[in-house]
Structure 1
Amino acid sequence: MPYLPAATRSRLSLAVRHALFTGLLAGAPLLMTAPLAQAADAASEQSRSYAIPAGPLDQALNRFASKAGILLAVDAQLTAGKRSPGLNGSHTVDDGLVRLLQGSGLRALNAGGSYVLEKAVDSGAAVELGTTNINANGLGATTEGTGSYTTGSTSAATKMNLSPRETPQSVSVITRQRIEDQNINTLGEAIKYAPGVTLSKWGGERERFNSRGFQINNLMIDGLPMEYEEAALSTGLLSMYDRVEVVRGASGLMEGAGTPGGSINLVRKRPTKEFQGSATASAGSWDNYRNELDLSGPLNDSATLRGRTVLAYQDKNSFIDDYENQRSLFYGILEGDLSEDTTLTLGASWSKDNNPGADWNGLGTYPDGSFLPISRSTRMSPSWSYWDKESTTVFAELEHRFANDWKARIAASLVESEMDMLGTFLNSSTLDANGDPSFTMRGGAYNYDRDQKSIDGYLSGPFQLLGRSHELVLGTSYRRSEHHDTGAATTDNGSFDIATINPLAWDPDSLAIPEIGAFGTWHRYQQTDQTGVYGASRFSLTDQLSLIVGSRLDWYEMDTIQYDAGWPYGEANYKTTREFTPYAGLVYDLNDTYSLYASWTRIFTPQNYATASGGLLDPQEGSNYELGIKGEYFDGRLNASLAIFQIDLENLPQQLPTASCQAGLAACYESAGEVRSRGFELELTGELTPSWQVAASYTYNHAIVRESAADGANPIGTGIEGKRYGTNLPLNLAKLSTSYRLPGVLNQWRVGGSVYSQSDIFTPQGVEQGGYTLFDLEAGYDVNSQLALTLNAKNIFDKRYYTSISEPIGSNFFGEPRSYNLTARYKF
């Protein structure tokens, strides 16, 4: 068999690989056993016991293939004169081949259960890192173990499992490999690297995510939607997740109510049919220590019962004085095959974030919005402040697969979250008699208890129509969110104010814990219910053209009331009935590599504003229009896209004169406000060569106010038609992450890094952050096939910048200075 360079081999299609295996190896000796390929696939997932002594490589491989029950093709010229260290103990097929081939400069290529031996690198001294797994569809949805920066399929946009190229909307994935390479520990850190998405803060532990000019207010976990409320929800460390999927643009078909910017889907790790495990330890700047244990595998001999557990703990200080984080995570999941076609999954997770020193808001500025001459370690809250969060989740799934490739799935989840905090915030920014900045400080103590229930069931599968095969999804969902919030403000002779501080001479230890009003003086209860039915179909109109159409009907109701000192205020009761959400997408394949697409969809947000006649305004509606071209290279291991988008957010409230209101109404409104967001995105993710992974993106987004609206609850004022909207978000956003494994004798080393660059941002109050660019570096070293070390250096040029800005008394936060982190990961 002629040898092809690694870069060339990786470009061959799967069909050519099979042809090479079945046809061109006719002249090479075959090391094989009688079982068919299907049996070989099953055998490859099981551990067997081996006692193969060291000796000639071809003999060792013969004995191994016979014992393992696999088909292995070898060119005799590759094994000539080579020896194997032998193999002892219990191993899977892939692991056994790695060990037998160690030091030989060869690797085994897995093509659907059949194996081909080939050269790995031009070095006998390089550490053999493992077999390369390929299946008929290239990469799958699961990213763990692929080593890739892209995914083969996702259902986050349409509920149908489609490749990125088949999906007529912008979807990006932060894979497990990127999470490990870039030392991404939290959801906020993942969003920093996601294309087209920015992070802003409303407090030290209250992160908000923005896409295409609008805030994202929903999360999905394994495709099950839930409310993202940053005050109490703990998403925990990312140790339990396989990947983070980000849909940009409206996602109403999946969620019902929400905002038009996009949605985030967190996908949990799943049990495996063969045993695997890893232990991770890391240490970094500001006493940042993290430990993690991940165990997965079968719980019986037939692997019909499988389990996985993940334990993780992080204890870190901060570059901010007296600010700490202790994050704990437990995740457990059981997966059982009730029959050959039915699988039941049960699981639970618990995460707790203790955050001593967390700010309620952030750093202030001079009254004119200019930044103060302060250190990045400065805090403008007392050392005794804290913001702790805890979330417990239980979930269940039942899936049945029918004989005709149809399946039925029902999933349910319960999330209980609690927040406990004591802290202060800045109430005003002035200059004192000496011209120094002066802030009034207020405070309070609050406890939030929030529960979310979500259930979703659907039926999906192919059907035949007019001689062609199509896909259909039909489903229904129900969500309930309950808020029980209590607390009290600090009191000092009837005043909320507890101190007046000069931020240039402020000592966080100087302020004693103030008197807190009777706890429960303030109380809020809120319940939201949403029921929906949905359907979507993917029609194969021709071999090149497919059409996805879908719709959703939702019934939405919210009741909320607040009490202060026992007196009710802020009561609201509103509902939306049979809210219709359409979805349409068209994909045309230009050839085997490129596709053109167009899509249109909507999403709605109910609002509690009375009309002049006493009714309620129609919900806000966000419409997403998108055109683009997508490319798929190297069997889907590299994906590229160019998208042009427009989002119209309509029905924003405009207050009417009181005289126009029905008797008894203190205020009334009409639907008048509209914002239009336009832009384009470029993205490239995946494998440039077998040793080089990349994720690059650029986003331009410009939003304007087409029609103004005046209300304190909205960021749109009067008389600003045609002006830019969301100026605290950048017009230009570029992100790049890459990792490269060195060739030859340096094959044990991996180098890479990332670049984050954004243009300037500002607020109407005069706070402005100029554009900036950040650079990160990473280096990895594989000690052997099980132990890997990774060193990450972030913000290597120690850029001083604000990552989030607001108003002079609002949420302005410094970005992290230069930092280092060393991680050791052992796989067994």
Structure 2
Amino acid sequence: MLLPRLPLAILTVAVVSAVATLAAPSARAEVAPALAAGPVKTFSIAAQPLGSALTELARQAGVQLLVKPSLVAGKAAPAVEGHMTTAQALAKLLAGSDLVPELQADTLTVKPAAPAPAAERTDDMLPVVTVAASNERMQLPTEKTRSYTIDSTTAGSKIALSPKETPQSVSVLSRAEMDDFHLNGVNDALQHVTGVTVDQYETDRTDFNSRGFQITNFQFDGVGLPLIYQSQYGDIEMALYDRVEVLRGADGLNAQTGNPSATVNLIRKRPTYQFQASGNVSYGSWNTKRVEADISGPLNAAGTVAGRLVAVHQDGHSYIDRYKPSKDVLYGVIEASVTPDTLVTLGYSYQRNRSPGAQWGGLPLLDADGRQMSYGVGTSLAPSWAYFNTEEQRAFAELSQQLGAGWKWKTSAVYNDITSTANIFYPLGSLNADGTSGFSSYTSWWKESNRQLVLDTNVSGKFDLFGRSHDLVVGANFSRSELSNPSREGDTDYSDVSYAQLLAGTFPKPVFNGDILYTHYLDVRRSLYASSRWNLSDRVKLLLGINYTQAGSSGDASGTSYAQQSSGSAPYVGLTVDLTPQVTAYTSFTKIFNPQYQLDINSSLLGPARGQSLEAGIKGAFLDNRLNASLAVYRIRQTNIATDAGLNLATQQEYYTAGNATSKGIEAEVSGRLTPDWNVSAGATLLRIVGDDGLSARTFIPRKAAHLSTTYRVPALERKLTVGSSVRWQSATRFELAGEGTARQNAYASVDFMMRYDVDRHFSITGNLNNAFNNKHFATLEYDRALYAAPLNGSVTLTWRY
């Protein structure tokens, strides 16, 4: 199914029309002086019926609620979001309701403005809602906080904890940082995350690595499947997302698989219950043009239904010869409070990437004599008729049901339809000593379709035992992923092609009339999981969890059938000890069970990877939790890891070998707000990866890396001017081809600058300069072919917000 391809003008009219239909309720209320005092908390309460809104406020504030149902029946409450005292939040909720709050100690009583009639029965009172006072915070969307850190995450356990309370390393890339540094694609975004290396080995295929191993777990709102063939095809547009949370280390509880690298969780933007809209237009290097619109608000007068629409168009040329990427993106989501305790969410996104002139394989690193090659930054060996196009359609539905007594049931259903099509040109061979020959052609028409279904349901809440309150999550997950991949070779395959012809991109387009090669696989997984957090004392918390997964894979690769069944469990243990109110020590251990569907050279499945991951460290939360810091050490041992070994010409598919590796390392990170005007995100990593022979493995991954992103809003200019910089440094890397040669890349740093001026509260102009010192380096040395990272480039963006 294809989305109708509306011209941008029509889409703009549709967005403007939608704006006209939305209404944003507003209310002002006085705060009684007696209630105005108190600690500032973070509240995030959707517009909904007043009774359920008061229940939610009590939960977030950590107080007991007493209110008669007759007082709140038929009344609605506006949305309340932001940092404020409990009394101020109450004033906003109760504005215009003829009710007043009475807050004494940890008990909140809601009364009518006039004395209640004596005839009213006391047994009409709602059951007392008890929420233990704690340091737990609700996480506001980062587009609201404009901070470089978060207050709360469910990464690793599905239990909402602060980063300091989570016994694993967690990094976040917030909406503010993405906006500041113009991070519109997932490759650019993840370069700003501690411990993640972005290995773009072709124009439209990228691998991601962390702690020495490949990241395959990509989730959307906590639900997802491993990447196809371990690589990301095409681009993921970041305008759809509020933030990216990256849990480093194994995540067997949340991700079905215990891949020990990291889990990348992209958190979608959600509807707001107060009207807001924004749009921006940008122009950048290589004639890159971009238009983006984002609109959100309530869809009914009661404020119980809200929607959001995001649209993006981008096109232009590139620093790479003959490569002209473009993309169109549309995202819509609706959220409805169908009852005071029931929230339903429906969403859909569509992204189409078009990439004429796409490279397949990149530039050969070594010549025929094993000497390292050098090229101009924009060199391409792909002809103009080559392309790599992708389309991603993602639909999701969520049901969240409050069960009472602090328990919640949540069910998610996800359906993805991901399609790639390509005309491939791959130059076989390497340059001879004469400097003119040594290459032959390989061409193919190629299509891949992957349909995924994921169902996840869980129940979460608190229970009391031995005089303390504890957390528990129990759930089940089902996934089905089916892939079909036909391809057909061209009629000019294996013919000689000169080096000059490759550089000019003039190799003629063939007729794709070869035999159709077909690959098909079906991967089905069923999982049960449980996660708990035991409150052993005021300072000591124990996290226990387990995931049990049954995985079945079957298929056919060019006539060779295969099938495999496997099952295993991934237990998890974590411990945190509060050394001071600001500093916590932690440790965690998990076993690795990672079903794999990769095939070897004989089209046989490799079987699951297994191993274990151990981590320990210290975390801190400072400046009223505005700044998070961590220091971690880890050790990972993994066996039977699928490692890409190249293209199997017999099947037209990548094939893999199995390997073992041990990774050890240290990671340090600081992120958040040093002052109200100064944001910072900084991190450093040091790691060692060896194989069973004790020698360095995966040498394309830098052993040392560091990054710093920071922005400062200048008070002297009425805080209208924001300046910032981002620096990323990595140590030397190399690619070794046994018996043929070695390609090396020295350590390098890439420096970016940004500047934004807020003309008024609606308009701003932002300038970004990337790779400001024009450092020339390869994007990765993962394979025997590569491409250069982008040289000096920049953009200017005009933004309007309402």
Compute the TM-score of the two structures, normalised by the length of structure 1.
0.77
- Judge conservation of contact 1:285–1:819 (CA < 8 Å) in 2: yes
Name the amino acid aligned to 1:816: A
Gaps of 5+ in 1: 1-29, 47-91, 96-107, 116-134, 655-670, 708-720
For 2:762, the equivalent position in structure 1 comes to 786
- Of 681, 698, 706, the residue aligned with 1:734 is 706
> Hey, what's the Cα distance between the residues in 2 that align with 1:523 and 1:800?
40
Map residues 37-76 of structure 1 onto 2, 5 A cutoff: none
In the alignment, does 2:780 pair up with 1:804? yes
Where does residue 282 of structure 2 map in the other structure? 282
CA-atom RMSD in angstroms: 3.0
What SS class does the counterpart of residue 301 from structure 2 fall into? coil
**2:694 is aligned with what amino acid?**
G
Residue aligning to 2:549: 554
Matched with 2:671 is 685
Equivalent residues of 1:165, 1:632 under 8 A apart: yes
What is the DSSP-based 3-state SS (H/G/I as helix, E as strand, rest coil) of the residue aligned with 2:143?
Answer: coil
Cα offset, 1:33, TM superposition: 6.8
- What amino acid is aligned across from residue 543 of structure 1 in structure 2? D
After superposition, the C-alpha distances for 1:754-786 in whole angstroms (9 at most, x for unaligned) are 001000111112111111011111111010112
How much does 1:508 deviate?
3.3
- Asked if 2 retains the 8 angstrom alpha-carbon contact of 1:232 and 1:419, the reply is no
Deviation at 1:437, TM superposition (A): 6.0
Structure 2 CA distance for partners of 1:94 and 1:572, relative to 1, 3 Å: closer
Match of 2:181 in 1: 182
CA distance in 2, matches of 1:688, 1:369: 51
Are the counterparts in 2 of residues 382 and 423 from structure 1 also a CA contact under 8 Å? no
- Counterparts of 1:442 and 1:393 in 2: how far apart (Å)? 33
SS in 2 for 1:242: strand
User: 1:556-575 counterparts in 2 under 5 A?
Assistant: 556-563=551-558, 568-569=559-560, 571-575=561-565
Secondary structure at the aligned position of 1:168 is classed as coil
Question: Deviation at 1:191?
Answer: 1.0
Question: Partners in 1 of 2:678 and 2:44 — Cα distance?
Answer: 31
- Name 1:517's counterpart in structure 2: 513
- Structure 2 vs 1, CA of residues 110 and 826 (structure 1 numbering), >3 Å: closer, same or farther? farther
Q: Distance in 2 between matches of 1:353 and 1:677?
A: 36
User: 1 CA distance for matches of 2:424 and 2:326?
Assistant: 18
Cα pair distance change 1:500/1:642, threshold 3 Å: same
How far apart, in 1, do the equivalents of 2:717 and 2:202 lie? 49
Tell me the secondary structure at the aligned position of residue 257 of structure 2.
Answer: coil
Q: Which moved more, 1:602-611 or 1:346-355?
A: 602-611
The reply on whether 1:823 has 2:797 as its aligned counterpart is yes
Shift of 1:489: 1.4
- Counterparts of 2:148 and 2:718 in 1: how far apart (Å)? 22
Answer yes or no: is 1:770 the counterpart of 2:770: no
**Residue in 2 that maps onto 1:702:** 688
CA distance in 1, matches of 2:341, 2:610: 41
Q: Answer whether contact 2:286 2:317 (CA < 8 A) is retained.
A: yes
| Within-5 A mapping of 1:603-752 | 603-606=592-595, 619-651=608-640, 674-705=660-691, 707=692, 721-752=693-724
- 8 A contact 2:235–2:353 mirrored in 1: no
SS in 2 for 1:338: strand
Query: 1:269-309 deviations in whole A, cap 9, x for unaligned?
Result: 01111111111111111111111111111111121011111
Q: 1:539, 1:629 → 2: CA distance?
A: 20
Deviation, 1:617, is: 7.9
The 3-state SS of whatever aligns with 1:144 is: helix
**Displacement, 1:460?**
0.3
Distance of aligned partners of 1:33 and 1:616 in 2 relative to their CA distance in 1, 3 Å threshold: closer
CA distance in 2, matches of 1:599, 1:236: 32
- Counterpart secondary structure, 2:146: coil
Q: Following the alignment from structure 2 to structure 1, what is the Cα–Cα distance between the partners of residues 442 and 198? A: 26
- Deviation of the 1:202 alpha carbon: 3.8
Larger radius of gyration: 1
Shift of 1:515: 2.1
1:632 aligned partner, one-letter code: A
Mapped pair 1:272 → 2:272: yes
**What residue identity is the alignment partner of 1:200?**
D
CA displacement, residues 367-386 of structure 1 (integer Å, 9 cap, x when unaligned): 35544342111101111110
Query: 3-state SS of the aligned residue for 2:617?
Result: strand
1:652 deviates by: 5.7
**1:779-814 CA distance string (max 9 Å, x none):** 11010112121111011111111111244xx43110
Aligned residues: 676
Partners of 1:211 and 1:164 in 2: CA distance:
19
2:61 maps to which residue?
A: none
Tell me how far 1:259 sits from its aligned partner.
2.6
Post-superposition CA distance 1:140-174 (Å, at most 9, x none): 25212111000111112111111100000011010
Letter in 1 for 2:424: G
Partner of 1:485, secondary structure, is strand
Do the aligned residues in 2 keep the contact of 1:559 with 1:574 (CA within 8 Å)? yes
Quote the offset at 1:498 in angstroms: 3.8
Report the AA paired with residue 745 of structure 2: Q
CA distance in 2 between counterparts of 1:641 and 1:291 reads 38
The corresponding residue for 2:143 is: 144
Aligned to 2:92: none
| Separation of aligned partners in 1, 2:44 and 2:428 | 67
- Comparing 643-652 with 524-533, greater Cα deviation is found at 643-652
Distance in 2 separating the partners of 1:287 and 1:294: 23
Q: What is the Cα deviation at residue 602 of structure 1? A: 2.4
Match of 1:6 in 2: none
Partner of 2:380: 379
Q: Which residue of 2 aligns with 1:334?
A: 334
Using a 3 Å threshold, how does the CA distance of structure 1 residues 511 and 653 change in structure 2: closer, same or farther?
Answer: closer
Tell me the alpha carbon deviations over residues 92-141 of structure 1, each in whole angstroms, 9 at most, x when there is no partner.
Answer: 9999xxxxxxxxxxxx98445639xxxxxxxxxxxxxxxxxxx9966725
Distance 2:315 2:465 in 1: 58
Question: What does 1:98-109 correspond to in 2, within 5 Å?
Answer: none
| Aligned partners of 1:370 and 1:768 also within 8 Å | no
State how far apart, in whole Å, the 1-side matches of 2:384 and 2:624 are: 55
- Cα 1:250–1:526 change in 2 (3 A) is same
Confirm or deny: 8 A CA contact 1:441 1:501 kept in the other structure: no
CA change 1:316–1:676 in 2 (3 A) is: same
CA distance in 2, matches of 1:331, 1:546: 40
Deviation at 1:539?
0.1
Whole-angstrom CA distance in 2 between matches of 1:620 and 1:354: 35
Does the 8 Å CA contact 1:443/1:498 hold for their aligned counterparts?
Answer: no
Cα drift, residue 603 of structure 1: 2.5
Amino acid at match of 2:511: E
Q: Residue 227 of structure 1 aligns to a residue in which SS?
A: coil
Task: Give the counterpart of 2:524 among 526, 529, 533.
Answer: 529
Matches within 5 A, 1:386-401: 386-401=387-402
Tell me which residue corresponds to 2:499.
502
CA distance in 1, matches of 2:83, 2:460: 34
Aligned in 2, Cα 1:235/1:163: closer, same or farther, shift over 3 Å?
Answer: farther
The residue aligned with 1:88 is none
* Alpha-carbon distance in 1 for matches of 2:216, 2:374: 35
Instruction: Please list, as runs of the form range in 1=range in 2, the aligned pairs for 1:194-213 lying within 5 A after superposition.
Output: 194-213=193-212
Would you say the 8 A contact 2:136–2:162 is kept in 1?
Answer: no
Question: How far apart in 2 are the matches of 1:689 and 1:42?
Answer: 21
Deviation at 1:440, TM superposition (A): 2.3
Cα displacement (A) at 1:402: 2.2
Q: What is the aligned partner in structure 1 of residue 109 from structure 2?
A: none
Q: Which TM-score applies when normalising by structure 2? A: 0.80
Q: For each residue in 1:613-640, what CA deviation from the matched residue of structure 2 results, as whole angstroms up to 9, or x when unmatched?
A: xx99863213111010000012211000
Q: Kindly provide the amino acid, as one letter, of the partner of residue 695 in structure 2.
A: K
